[in-house]
Structure 1
Amino acid sequence: MNMGTEYRCQNISYRELTELPKDLIDRTAKYVEELDLTGNRISDLRFLIEYQSLKSLVLDHNAVSSHVKIADMPNLHTLWVNHNRIDNLSVFISTLAKKCPNLKFLSMMNNRAAPSYFNNGTFQQYVDYRYFVISRFPKLEVLDDKKIDSSERSEAERIYKPVKKRVKQKT
């Protein structure tokens, strides 16, 4: 059933919402592939469990924090969470890597957890932030406003390679 562009792309921006109305979710979730929720007050993303076709999600200028609750979103490839309340990179990225493992495009600018010149981060903090995020998302192509090249990916994997647990052998 083709519901048309109006259902595949939903713009629900600047409405001061803390959550989506149930009737809207019921009407659109099955078909929506792109959802723009910019400029609301959303902090809990568990409602996204209904949006199994979702590929692109924009949550700029909301109340998303490091400890966000989010549904499994294996089809999501684009996520923008610029200007939110994310201040613990490890916690947020661990959750995101588990719930949204196929991200190709991620933008986290203007969050405390994403150091940059604009929020008083040093260049080294910015580089380390990029390496850490890149190391957790093998399919990520663009982080914030910069494409990831092969040398950056190699360095990220070298620095943050998973440590394998050693198994003690009985002698």
Structure 2
Amino acid sequence: MAMKNEQDFNRTALTVQLNRAWYTGQRAERIPGGLIGLVGPDCTALDLSYNNLVSVTGLKEFIHLEELVLDNNCLRDLNTLPRLPGLTTLSVNNNKLSDIENALDRIKECCPCLRYVSLLGNPGSPDQLTDPNSNDEDDYERYRHYAVHVLPSTLKFLDSRPVTGKERREAKERGRFMKMVKVNLPDVSALTSEEFSAAVEGNRQQSNSNFLQRVAKNNPDYTPLPKSIRGPSELKSAYGKCRYRYSGKNSEGNRFISNSDL
């Protein structure tokens, strides 16, 4: 069984130098079981970027790990991240993390001594590299304050720049209120103008219908129609000539109106 575990990956793609190891670009979906046997339990730095990782459960064998690079993989969450008490550097750029809040909580739980963290290029990250049309600088700043609030106090560097003293103070005061909220809007880029107008009108009618349903539920006697019908004698309209002519400083249209039109 041990021999099989040591042969379940491309050993020629593995590079080991002192206590550092690189196993990149091999389309691995999970960390090979035999990797720890070749790298050794004293491995302090591991680069697994450019694979197809969907789980990192195998990292539980690397108890002395200090640096971990998981860039360009297929991780949808970090629920399989084991406890790595000595880890100081974690890079999970360009994965498929959609729930960044959950990822930050998991990182805090498993990596209490982190100093460097990068989560750029994930669907749930509000950085402008991921989606410049939907994210702006303010979104990212709010995310940074929230991340600094959640992650261990040992954090020195987040994504592409160091954590400043001002950010840390603001994160302490307001960071817990800056959770990221993602709104999934329909893609209207391929709609024609007629289709877009129809979709807007349909949403408006649906909103009005939902409103009336809520009102009717709370007040069964409610009706949007008038309670009585007025007769012709009750109309408040009046017709006739007006003695006054409005003249405003910016009412340029008045110059086209003659006295005979009034």
TM value normalised by structure 1: 0.86
Q: Does 1:154 align with 2:169?
A: yes
Does the alignment pair 1:132 with 2:146?
Answer: yes
Kept after mapping to 1: 8 A contact 2:32/2:58: no
Aligned residue type for 1:46: T
Partner residue of 1:6 out of 17, 25, 38: 17
- Cα offset, 1:28, TM superposition: 2.0
Alignment match of 2:79 (pick from 55, 68, 71) = 68
Matched residue, 2:158: 143
One-letter code aligned to 1:136: V
Letter in 1 for 2:30: E
Per-residue CA deviation, residues 55-105 of structure 1 (Å, 9 max, x unaligned), is 000000001123531110110000110000011111111111101121100
Deviation of 1:134 after TM superposition, in Å, equals 0.7
Shift of 1:124: 1.6
The answer (yes or no) to whether the contact 1:52–1:73 under 8 Å persists in 2 is yes
Corresponding letter in the other structure for 2:138: Q
Partner of 1:90: 101
Q: How much does 1:21 deviate?
A: 2.3
Count of equivalent residues? 158
Indicate the residue corresponding to 1:17 in structure 2: 28
Deviates more, 1:106-115 or 1:72-81: 106-115
Between the two structures, name the one with larger relative contact order (CA 8 Å, sep ≥ 6). Answer: 1
User: How much has 1:160 moved relative to structure 2?
Assistant: 2.9
Identity %, equivalent residues: 24
Which stretches of structure 1, 4 residues or longer, exceed 3 Å deviation after superposition? none
Q: Which has the larger radius of gyration?
A: 2
Structure 1 residues without counterparts, runs of 5 or longer:
163-171
Structure 2 CA distance for aligned equivalents of residues 44 and 73 of structure 1: 15
Q: Partners in 2 of 1:147 and 1:103 — Cα distance?
A: 13
Matched-pair contact (CA < 8 Å) for 1:7–1:28: no
Pairing partner for 2:58 from 43, 47, 54: 47
C-alpha contact (below 8 Å) 2:31/2:57 kept by paired residues: no
Q: Give the superposition deviation at 1:145.
A: 0.7
Q: Which amino acid aligns with 1:99?
A: C
Moved more, 53-62 or 120-129: 120-129
TM-score by length of 2: 0.57
Q: Which moved more, 1:61-70 or 1:123-132?
A: 61-70
Say which SS state the counterpart of residue 10 (structure 1) adopts: strand
Quick one: distance in 2 between partners of 1:88 and 1:133? 13
Amino acid in the other structure paired with 2:146: F
Structure 2 stretches lacking a partner, 5+ long? 1-15, 178-262
Counterpart of 2:139, as a letter, is Q
1:123 aligns with 2:134: no
SS in 2 for 1:117: coil
What's the secondary structure of 2:17's corresponding residue?
A: helix
Contact 1:29 1:52 in 2 (8 A): no
2:125 matched residue in structure 1? 114
The alpha-carbon deviation at position 29 of structure 1 amounts to 4.1
